[in-house]
Amino acid sequence: MLMNIIMVHDDHKFIEEAARALGLAGHNVVTFGDPMEALTALENDRFEILITRVRFPPGRPNGVALAQMALLKRPAHCTNEPRDVEDRNYSGPPADDNQVNRAHSNGTSE
Protein backbone atom coordinates (compact mmCIF):
# COMPACT_ATOMS: atom_id res chain seq x y z
CA MET A 1 0.00 0.00 0.00
CA LEU A 2 1.51 3.31 -1.08
CA MET A 3 1.35 6.16 1.44
CA ASN A 4 1.56 9.94 1.44
CA ILE A 5 4.27 10.64 4.01
CA ILE A 6 5.40 13.89 5.58
CA MET A 7 8.86 13.89 7.18
CA VAL A 8 10.09 16.60 9.54
CA HIS A 9 13.70 16.68 10.67
CA ASP A 10 16.40 19.34 10.85
CA ASP A 11 19.22 17.01 9.74
CA HIS A 12 19.14 17.54 5.96
CA LYS A 13 21.33 14.54 5.14
CA PHE A 14 19.17 12.18 7.22
CA ILE A 15 15.91 13.44 5.75
CA GLU A 16 17.22 13.24 2.16
CA GLU A 17 18.37 9.63 2.62
CA ALA A 18 15.20 8.54 4.40
CA ALA A 19 12.95 10.25 1.84
CA ARG A 20 14.93 8.67 -0.99
CA ALA A 21 14.51 5.18 0.50
CA LEU A 22 10.78 5.68 1.03
CA GLY A 23 10.43 7.12 -2.47
CA LEU A 24 12.18 4.08 -3.96
CA ALA A 25 9.59 1.96 -2.17
CA GLY A 26 6.93 3.89 -4.10
CA HIS A 27 5.70 6.26 -1.40
CA ASN A 28 5.01 9.96 -1.95
CA VAL A 29 7.27 11.84 0.48
CA VAL A 30 7.27 15.54 1.34
CA THR A 31 10.04 16.81 3.61
CA PHE A 32 10.42 19.79 5.92
CA GLY A 33 13.21 21.02 8.16
CA ASP A 34 10.90 23.24 10.19
CA PRO A 35 7.93 21.89 12.17
CA MET A 36 5.85 25.04 11.67
CA GLU A 37 6.16 24.77 7.88
CA ALA A 38 5.18 21.12 8.16
CA LEU A 39 2.11 22.07 10.21
CA THR A 40 0.91 24.28 7.35
CA ALA A 41 1.24 21.34 4.96
CA LEU A 42 -0.53 19.05 7.45
CA GLU A 43 -3.41 21.54 7.60
CA ASN A 44 -3.77 21.79 3.83
CA ASP A 45 -2.92 18.33 2.49
CA ARG A 46 -3.68 14.74 3.38
CA PHE A 47 -0.89 12.56 4.73
CA GLU A 48 -1.26 9.07 6.10
CA ILE A 49 2.05 9.08 7.95
CA LEU A 50 3.93 11.74 9.90
CA ILE A 51 7.57 10.95 10.60
CA THR A 52 9.18 13.56 12.81
CA ARG A 53 12.12 14.15 15.04
CA VAL A 54 11.04 14.23 18.67
CA ARG A 55 13.31 17.11 19.72
CA PHE A 56 13.88 20.28 17.75
CA PRO A 57 16.02 23.28 18.68
CA PRO A 58 14.58 25.71 21.27
CA GLY A 59 11.79 27.89 19.96
CA ARG A 60 10.26 25.17 17.80
CA PRO A 61 7.55 22.66 18.79
CA ASN A 62 8.78 19.14 19.41
CA GLY A 63 7.57 16.20 17.36
CA VAL A 64 4.92 15.17 19.89
CA ALA A 65 3.49 18.71 19.94
CA LEU A 66 3.50 18.75 16.13
CA ALA A 67 1.50 15.52 16.01
CA GLN A 68 -0.94 16.86 18.62
CA MET A 69 -1.41 20.11 16.66
CA ALA A 70 -2.06 18.09 13.50
CA LEU A 71 -4.72 16.08 15.33
CA LEU A 72 -6.37 19.24 16.64
CA LYS A 73 -6.33 20.95 13.22
CA ARG A 74 -7.61 18.01 11.17
CA PRO A 75 -8.89 15.24 13.44
CA ALA A 76 -10.87 13.53 10.68
CA HIS A 77 -7.67 13.09 8.66
CA CYS A 78 -5.55 11.63 11.46
CA THR A 79 -5.39 8.21 12.99
CA ASN A 80 -3.50 7.02 16.01
CA GLU A 81 -2.50 3.49 15.12
CA PRO A 82 -0.88 1.71 18.07
CA ARG A 83 2.82 1.06 17.59
CA ASP A 84 3.38 -1.13 20.62
CA VAL A 85 1.61 -2.68 23.60
CA GLU A 86 1.67 0.52 25.67
CA ASP A 87 0.03 2.50 22.85
CA ARG A 88 -2.82 -0.02 22.65
CA ASN A 89 -4.05 1.22 26.03
CA TYR A 90 -4.42 4.77 24.74
CA SER A 91 -8.10 5.72 24.66
CA GLY A 92 -8.40 9.47 24.14
CA PRO A 93 -7.23 12.49 22.22
CA PRO A 94 -3.95 14.15 23.13
CA ALA A 95 -4.04 16.48 26.10
CA ASP A 96 -4.45 20.14 25.33
CA ASP A 97 -1.95 22.66 26.73
CA ASN A 98 -4.22 23.53 29.67
CA GLN A 99 -4.44 19.87 30.72
CA VAL A 100 -0.68 19.49 30.46
CA ASN A 101 -0.03 22.70 32.42
CA ARG A 102 -2.52 21.71 35.16
CA ALA A 103 -0.99 18.25 35.44
CA HIS A 104 2.53 19.65 35.77
CA SER A 105 1.53 22.31 38.29
CA ASN A 106 -0.26 19.64 40.39
CA GLY A 107 2.66 17.25 40.13
CA THR A 108 0.49 14.64 38.42
CA SER A 109 0.10 13.39 34.89
CA GLU A 110 -3.23 13.05 33.13
In CATH, what number is assigned to the domain containing residue 22? 3.40.50.2300
In the predicted structure, residue 21 carries a pLDDT above the cut 80? yes
The model scores a pTM over 0.85: no
Containing structural domain, residue 68: 4-106
Question: What is the number of domains present in the chain?
Answer: 1
Nearest to 6 by CA among 47, 60, 53: 47
Angle among Cα 14, 17, 21 to the nearest 5 degrees reads 135
pLDDT digits (tens, 9 = 90+) for 33-56: 999 999 899 888 888 889 998 888
Q: Determine the residue type at 97.
A: D
Handedness of CA 97, 102, 107, 110 (dihedral sign): negative
